[in-house]
C-alpha cells in the first residue's frame, strides 16, 4: 500500500513542478505548490493525530485514499483540458493549487494513521531493522516514481501521437492510487489506542508537551525542520533541468531518481551495518554531509557531477531518516503515538513544503544558484548549533536511550 501510494505521490510531485514551471517559467509558482500543501498539512496535523489515536485506522485510510484519488482525477481532468486555447492559465493554476490543498488535508491524517499501523504490526525488538526495510520500500517508490514520471512526460507524445506527457502521467497516478486503495481493504482493523478522558485541547497539548520535554526527540525534529527548510532545493530541480543543466523532463526524472537511489542503496546497506551504535553522533554527521552535498550541487554545472551530489545527498538523508524514525518509535508511548506522530508530521511538513516555498522565493530574489548555496551553508550552521547544544547525547548508545515499556502486539483472532 505504502509503495503504490508513494510511487503515485512522488510521480505527481515531479511532473506538477515541471508542468507548472514549463507553463509559467516562474519560481514563485513553484513555491506556491509547497505552500498550498503545507498550510493544511501543518494547520490540522495535531487534530489528525488526535483522530488517529481515537478512531479505527483502517477506516481512516480508506477515506484518506479515496480523497486523494478524487483530487488526482480532478487534476488529471484539468491538465487534459489545458491544451484548449479557451482555458486561461490562471484557472488551471487555481484548480491545481486547490487540489494540492486537499492533498495536504489528507496528509494531516495519513501520517499519524500509518505510524500507528506500523507500530502495532511490528515487535519493538526489531524496530531498527524494520524501520530500514519500511524506509527502503518508500525510497524504491521514490526512485521509480520520478524516473517514470520524467521519461513518460518526455516520451508520451512520441509513443502515442497527440498524447500529452502530463495526461499520461495522471493516468498512471490514478491507476496506482486505485491499487493502493484496494490494498487498504487487505489490512486488519486497528482499534483506538486511547479513550480521551479530557477535552480535545488537553489531549492535543499532551502530545506537544511530550515532544518538547523530551530533549532527544525535540532536537531530532528540530534538526530535520531547519536543515530541510534551508537546504531543501528539490523544488528548484525543474529550473536546473530546463535552464541551467538543460536536460529536459527526462533529466529531471533522473535527478529526482539519483537522490532516492542513493537513499535506497544506503538503506539496504544499513540492514547489515546499522547506524544505531551511536545514533546521535551519526545523525549529526549525516545532516552535515547532507548540507555539504547541497553546496556541491549548487556549484556544479556538469550534469553527471550534479547526479553524484544528489546521490550522496540522498545517502546522507536516508541515514538521518532511519535514526530519527527509530528514535521516535522507541521513545513514544503507545497511547500517544497518533499525537506525537502529528507533531513530527508538523515538523516534517514544515521543513519539506515550507522549504519548497523558501527555495522558490529565495531563487526569485537571490537567483537560483545563490539560493541553493545559501541553503547548504545554513544547514551546516544548524548542525553546528545543534552539536553544541547536545554534546552530552553524542556518546550515547542505542540501549542507553530511555525506552518506555510496551507489551508485544497480540495477533488478531483467526476468522471463523
Q: Where are any strands of DSSP class E within 178-255?
A: none
- List, in sequence order, the alpha helices (H) in 120-164: 127-159
Environment class of residue 285 by beta-carbon count within 10 Å: exposed (0-12), middle (13-18) or buried (19+)? Answer: middle
Report the alpha-carbon distance of residue 74 to residue 103 in Å, rounded. 12
> What is the pTM (predicted TM-score) of this model?
0.68
Residue among 93, 72, 71 nearest 82 (CA):
93
The tens digit of pLDDT for each residue in 165-215 reads 788 889 999 999 999 999 998 888 877 766 666 566 666 677 777 777 778
pLDDT at 57: 85
What was the pLDDT predicted at 177? 95
In the chain, which residues have pLDDT < 70?
82-86, 127-128, 157-163, 193-204, 335, 338, 342, 345-355, 398-416
Q: Which stretches within 25-88 are classed as H helix?
A: 27-43, 45-54, 57-81
C-alpha to C-alpha distance for 61 and 42, rounded to whole angstroms:
19
CATH architecture of 2-188+206-398: Up-down Bundle (1.20)
Check residue 150 and give its pLDDT: 82
pLDDT value for 81: 76
Residue 206 near residue 342 (C-beta atoms within 8 A): no
Q: How confident is the model over 16-32, as pLDDT tens digits?
A: 888 888 888 888 888 88
Find the angle CA(233)-CA(236)-CA(242) to the nearest 5 degrees: 145
Q: What pLDDT is recorded for position 161? A: 55
Q: At 89, which helix (H) or strand (E)?
A: helix 89-119
The per-residue pLDDT for 157 is 62
CA distance linking residue 289 with residue 324, whole number of Å = 16
In the prediction, which pLDDT does 182 show? 93
Residue-wise burial string across 208-246, b where 16 or more C-beta atoms lie within 10 A, e elsewhere: eebbeebebbbbbbbbbbbbbbbbbbbbbbbbbbbebbe
> How confident is the model at residue 408, as a pLDDT?
43
Amino acid at each position: 500500500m505504502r509503495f503504490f501510494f508513494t510511487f503515485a505521490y512522488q510521480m505527481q510531485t515531479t511532473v506538477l513542478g515541471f508542468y507548472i514551471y514549463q507553463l509559467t517559467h516562474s519560481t514563485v509558482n513553484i513555491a506556491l505548490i509547497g505552500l498550498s500543501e503545507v498550510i493544511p498539512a501543518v494547520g490540522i496535523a495535531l487534530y489528525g493525530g488526535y483522530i488517529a489515536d481515537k478512531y479505527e485506522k483502517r477506516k481512516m485510510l480508506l477515506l484518506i485514499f479515496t480523497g486523494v484519488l478524487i483530487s488526482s482525477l480532478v487534476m488529471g481532468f484539468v491538465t487534459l483540458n489545458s491544451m484548449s486555447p479557451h482555458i486561461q492559465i490562471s484557472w488551471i493554476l487555481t484548480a491545481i493549487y486547490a487540489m494540492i490543498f486537499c492533498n495536504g488535508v489528507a496528509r494531516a491524517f495519513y501520517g499519524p494513521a500509518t505510524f500507528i499501523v506500523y507500530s502495532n504490526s511490528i515487535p519493538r525488538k526489531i524496530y531498527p531493522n524494520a524501520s530500514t526495510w519500511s524506509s527502503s520500500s518508500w525510497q524504491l517508490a521514490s526512485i521509480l516514481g520520478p524516473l517514470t514520471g520524467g521519461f513518460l512526460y518526455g516520451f508520451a507524445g512520441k509513443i502515442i501521437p497527440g498524447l500529452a506527457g502530463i495526461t499520461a502521467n495522471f493516468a498512471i497516478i490514478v491507476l496506482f492510487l486505485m491499487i493502493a486503495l484496494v490494498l487498504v481493504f487487505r489490512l486488519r482493523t486497528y482499534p483506538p489506542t486511547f479513550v480521551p478522558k479530557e477535552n480535545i485541547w488537553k489531549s492535543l497539548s499532551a502530545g506537544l508537551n511530550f515532544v518538547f520535554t523530551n530533549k532527544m526527540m525535540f532536537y531530532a525534529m528540530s534538526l530535520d525542520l531547519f536543515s530541510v527548510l534551508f537546504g531543501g532545493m528539490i523544488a528548484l530541480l525543474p529550473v536546473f533541468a530546463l535552464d541551467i543543466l538543460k536536460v529536459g523532463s527526462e533529466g529531471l526524472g533522473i535527478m529526482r531518481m539519483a537522490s532516492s537511489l542513493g537513499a535506497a542503496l544506503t538503506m539496504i546497506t544499513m540492514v547489515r551495518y546499522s547506524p544505531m551504535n551511536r545514533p546521535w553522533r551519526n545523525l549529526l554527521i549525516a545532516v552535515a554531509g547532507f548540507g555539504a552535498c547541497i553546496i556541491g550541487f549548487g556549484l556544479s554545472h556538469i550534469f553527471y557531477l550534479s547526479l553524484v551530489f544528489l546521490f550522496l545527498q540522498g545517502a546522507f538523508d536516508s541515514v538521518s531518516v532511519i535514526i530519527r524514525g527509530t528514535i521516535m518509535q522507541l521513545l513514544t508511548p503507545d497511547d500517544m503515538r497518533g499525537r506525537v506522530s502529528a507533531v513530527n508530521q508538523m515538523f516534517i511538513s514544515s521543513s519539506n513544503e515550507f522549504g519548497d516555498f523558501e527555495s522558490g522565493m529565495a531563487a526569485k530574489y537571490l537567483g537560483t544558484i545563490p539560493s541553493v548555496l545559501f541553503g547548504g551553508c545554513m544547514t551546516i550552521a544548524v548542525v553546528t548549533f545543534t552539536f553544541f547544544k547536545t554534546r552530552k547525547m553524542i556518546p550515547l548508545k542505542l540501549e542507553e536511550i530511555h525506552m518506555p515499556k510496551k507489551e508485544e502486539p497480540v495477533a488478531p483472532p483467526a476468522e471463523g
